[in-house]
Amino acid sequence: MSRPKNSGFAPDLRNTALASIINNACVLVLQVHKSPFVTAQGLGNDFVLVDNRNQVETLVTEEQAVKLCDRNFGIGGDGVIFALPPTEDGCDYSMRIFNSDGSEPEMCGNGIRCLARFVADLDGAATSHRVNTLAGLMVVDLRDDGQVSVDMGEPILEPAEVPTTLPATKDGAAVQAPLEAAVRARCGL
């Protein structure tokens, strides 16, 4: 698989010799299914990315994701992210994430950017992806300069809606300092 320069991807982990060094049953599961996977990082968050678009069920379980993310005995990472078949009309594919502790978040901004680059590298030079997540439909754009952006909508700052254990300020906010945020953040991988 050819990758553009500076795409942020680690070496291809489909190599059998490297998989045997890792000696992890989860890696063997991925190899048996002949599913491409790589590691990637976005602004310091690193992930194992799996092309799982040929079936709805993830190729590894939450428990296996914990083992894959182990930095001493697995591949290492903040989570395992799956590109799955589309679940809604108008969607290019779906995304699921298992965090390194086995929990499943709705979405991850850095993760979806890494996933979009991964899928674009597999399929060709698509410039925009419509990705269904547990947080809803996200539109990801791959720019000519190599950066990837995602419109994640308006930030939610109400403590009861985030959720957070931070106490609310007298104004009901979770943030006790001025916050400047752009609705559409553009970040490089």
- In this prediction, residue 34 carries a pLDDT of 60
Secondary structure (3-state) at 6 = coil
- In this prediction, residue 167 carries a pLDDT of 77
Residue of 181, 91, 182 lying closest to 140 (CA atoms)? 91
**pLDDT < 50 regions, the chain:** 1-26, 28, 32, 184-189
- In this prediction, residue 127 carries a pLDDT of 86
CATH code for the structural domain at 16-139? 3.10.310.10
Q: What are the residue boundaries of the structural domains of the chain, listed by start? A: 16-139
The C-alpha torsion from 107 through 112 and 114 to 117, rounded to 10°, is 170
- In this prediction, residue 37 carries a pLDDT of 74
Which token pair is 137?
């439909």
Predicted TM-score (pTM) of the model is: 0.71
